[in-house]
Chain A
């Protein structure tokens, strides 16, 4: 089916998220929609899917104008969507999720699960998905959950399939499998819109590329374009995709973790007996697909996890079981992976957020009173130093862009004397310009002799920053390998295969933008 968007405009208050966007996707074509976070890609697709009503423009399917009042209409017209955050009910089975919204019933309104199961099996077999219709969705790996989303769309005879950032949660191997699924779908005549900000994937699978920046189409590109060309188009200026860093001058081990085990509230092991150390002046990157224990590991280091066994010592002093306050006082800096949830208070000003961790004494608090003058001087200095783009230090942090919010967190954490710096997903949801800046500061912190841990699910970021890479899978360490280990090896390790056995042959990092 041919999809055409003409002059789609969508405003949120004063913000124009989509500004007269034109897009044509031919039948049986994989059309990539490339743009930075916040460029308006997802908004556009939500308009297409009927979740948002456009303020202007029209949607055409096979040259017929469509009016979608809601997702139900869009689905009836043949549009399917694989959402970035899966739209699956975790406590339902695969079959229940697939049938939801267009259930077939037997007498008396009783659900006809048998039909749904058959449907799941049929589609699953057609594409070699290997999905059990009776499995609970929450117990499935994310890669399989994504296939459930695809099955869900196909079970409604979707002929235009939108993939919204589908690879964000996948291992490199799962990503490769997804690519071949997309090609297979294309061969069977499905049109595909592939939304992403990852250049490598676009060039691999797309037939055509449309680049969006700040809500506008800024150009089309062919898959033969280089990474630099695409990145320049996407960001609007030339981008340096590599991180300059000198070889590490690693000192003595500073953070030593031995036999660390973390349990979740239900008593499940989420971090399983891990041991490693980080030396002064070294960046250890923890790689792995989201949800393999990285979050809990970093939280355990910070004292944020209640059920922890094993030993953690920093500069020879045991810190496990200490309160967060004590651990911060020892000199641990922390960028949490979800800055809006754990890193900042959205309604507080930039200045207030900058002193969040030092609210109990000098220099910002004296005799229980906040020292406005000292705080404002400090805030102005940090805003300048960390290049936070803002109207002023009294602006609420929630009004900043993701990149600038992250710079505020970074500024706060790096403004103390650190003995250890832990950065979890430091560039998630951050624009390319800010990524460059954040990466430089992380490397500078390392060069000052501080041990650094970077947790990232983005292989590009891992290979760009790491001196050593530790790969986690299902709570265990698969292996700790040098920073120049090829992506293919890392990819296998992220899927659980232990590293080191293969000969490094491919050159390091393909240098795509994170």
Chain B
């Protein structure tokens, strides 16, 4: 059989288009940003440096393997770290002059050093319990991670999910109510999933079936759920708190051996069922999205719905059920508020976690693993504020309260750069 030889093609067919013009236009953003942070570090750690010894506690009392506390002289550590920060800044400047990019690992080292410097400075003559700091970070990150997983699924299939906040809140309320009445936290968990799903049904119906702007539906849903749960709370739960708002909490389950790993063991493996479910959910969503038929179709619908349609995939039902699934997952995150940490529903107890989860989705570039890491970062920023106010740091607590949100803004605006979301996210699929 004859073949069609690409005779007249003068260049290799797979030759990529002209590559990135590295350095044709020099990008000074990274070194300048690093420079600014280095100067800030100099002012804080050296000019306003504090005398004393900072202590980092690495083990909890119940650990089998006890690590000794680390004692650092506050001012000297600050000076060393400042010098290192300036060194990295200089390297970054040099790289730009050489028309090269600053590698991401160098920026990561910079960030970790700056963080350690700040912690040491804040903990002059005080002790920071590192496992406690990390444990609290994870706790605060759990609802964010569930919310972000829901967001990733929803956006990957092409529906912007601004209603994560509403899904979390609905999950929190319903799980508290159902678990209180039945005395079964597991039933509360299921109820939370159903509640999150119901919120998603509304989002899906309006945005997919009636082409209403997805962001508007999402925002309205958040307000609706806030109002509804607030009303029911004050009319129903508050007067009958003992019977309707006293859910049994999940017990902590220590995983043998794993929970004895120094530092991380107690943080990751002395947790409740919800957190272990979360680990499974992260892995399942990741594998599901990138390695299964479900994920392939989901991504196809979110990238190019018409192409999916032409190979026989029902775009709108794929969107509807996956947005519902996203709601169920976010609902689980809501259950953590009541069944995992606080133990009772409180009015507007999610306090914007849904929006931070949305930021984690974007910061994590629509990837479940990266979004999880982003949520952990935000959780860490929140908990840092808690820990520092407990040990009595000189930073005003009002300023520290801003920290998680500052981190969010900088992370989303500055570091994301040219990340590209699912192409058809936010656009209804209207068959002509």
Contact = CB atoms under 8 A, between A and B. Distances in A.
B18 A89 contact: no
A100 B296 contact: yes
B313 A101 contact: yes
26 contacts: A72-B311, A72-B312, A75-B312, A89-B300, A91-B299, A101-B311, A101-B312, A101-B313, A102-B312, A110-B291, A126-B1, A130-B6, A143-B13, A152-B311, A176-B8, A180-B4, A184-B2, A263-B25, A267-B20, A267-B24, A268-B18, A268-B19, A270-B18, A309-B24, A492-B8, A497-B10
A270 B20 CA distance: 10
Nearest to A292: B17
Taking residues whose C-beta sits less than 8 angstroms from the other chain, chain A's interface range is: 35 or more
Given A91-B303, A105-B292, A475 B2 contact: no
A358 interface: no
Given A75-B311, A180-B4, A272 B293 contact: no
Contact of B310 (A71, A132, A135): A71
B292 A89 contact: no
A368 interface: no
Contact of A103 (B296, B299, B308): B296
Contact of B17 (A75, A111, A265, A474): A474
Interface string B293-322: 110110110011011111111100000000
B312 A268 contact: no
Interface in A175-191: 176-177, 180-181, 184
9 shortest interchain CB distances as A-B pairs: A72-B312, A128-B3, A101-B311, A87-B307, A173-B8, A103-B293, A87-B310, A269-B21, A109-B292
B418 interface: yes
A474 B16 contact: no
Interface in B22-39: 22, 24-25
A60 interface: no
Contacts of B304: 87-90
Nearest to A173: B8
A162 to B, nearest CB: 11
Contacts of B313: 100-101
A89 B299 contact: yes
B105 to A, nearest CB: 21
Nearest to B23: A267
B4 A127 contact: yes
Contacts of A83: 310
Given A103-B293, A139-B16, 5 more contacts: A73-B312, A87-B304, A100-B307, A100-B308, A268-B17
A55 to B, nearest CB: 15
B14 A132 contact: yes
Contacts of B61: none
Contacts of B98: none
Nearest to B417: A266
Contacts of B308: 89, 100-101
A51 B296 contact: no
Contacts of A177: 4, 6
A495 B418 contact: no
Contacts, number: 144
Nearest to B22: A267
Contacts of B5: 128
A263 B21 CA distance: 8
A49 interface: yes
A102 B24 CA distance: 45
A455 B399 CA distance: 57
Contacts of A270: 18
Given A128-B3, A173-B9, A265-B418, A100 B22 contact: no
A83 B304 CA distance: 14
Contacts of A110: 287, 291-292
A90 B16 CA distance: 15
Given A49-B310, A268-B18, A492-B8, A127 B3 contact: yes
A265 to B, nearest CB: 6
The interface centre, meaning the residue of B5, B6, B310 with most chain A CB atoms within 10 A of its CB, is: B310
B108 interface: no
A266 B418 contact: yes
B21 A268 contact: yes
B18 A111 contact: no
The interface centre, meaning the residue of B18, B306, B308 with most chain A CB atoms within 10 A of its CB, is: B18
A173 B9 CA distance: 8
B24 A89 contact: no
Contacts of B391: none
A311 to B, nearest CB: 16
B235 interface: no
B288 to A, nearest CB: 8
B11 interface: yes
Contacts of A128: 2-5
Interface in A106-152: 108-111, 126-130, 132, 135, 139-141, 143-144, 152
Nearest to A103: B293
The interface centre, meaning the residue of A101, A102, A266, A268 with most chain B CB atoms within 10 A of its CB, is: A101
B113 interface: no
B249 to A, nearest CB: 34
A249 interface: no
A268 B303 contact: no
Contacts of B190: none
B423 interface: yes
A351 interface: no
A103 B292 CA distance: 9
Contacts of B431: 51
A109 B293 contact: yes
Contacts of B21: 261, 263, 267-269
A263 B18 CA distance: 11
B20 A268 contact: yes
Contacts of A269: 18-19, 21, 24
Nearest to A143: B13
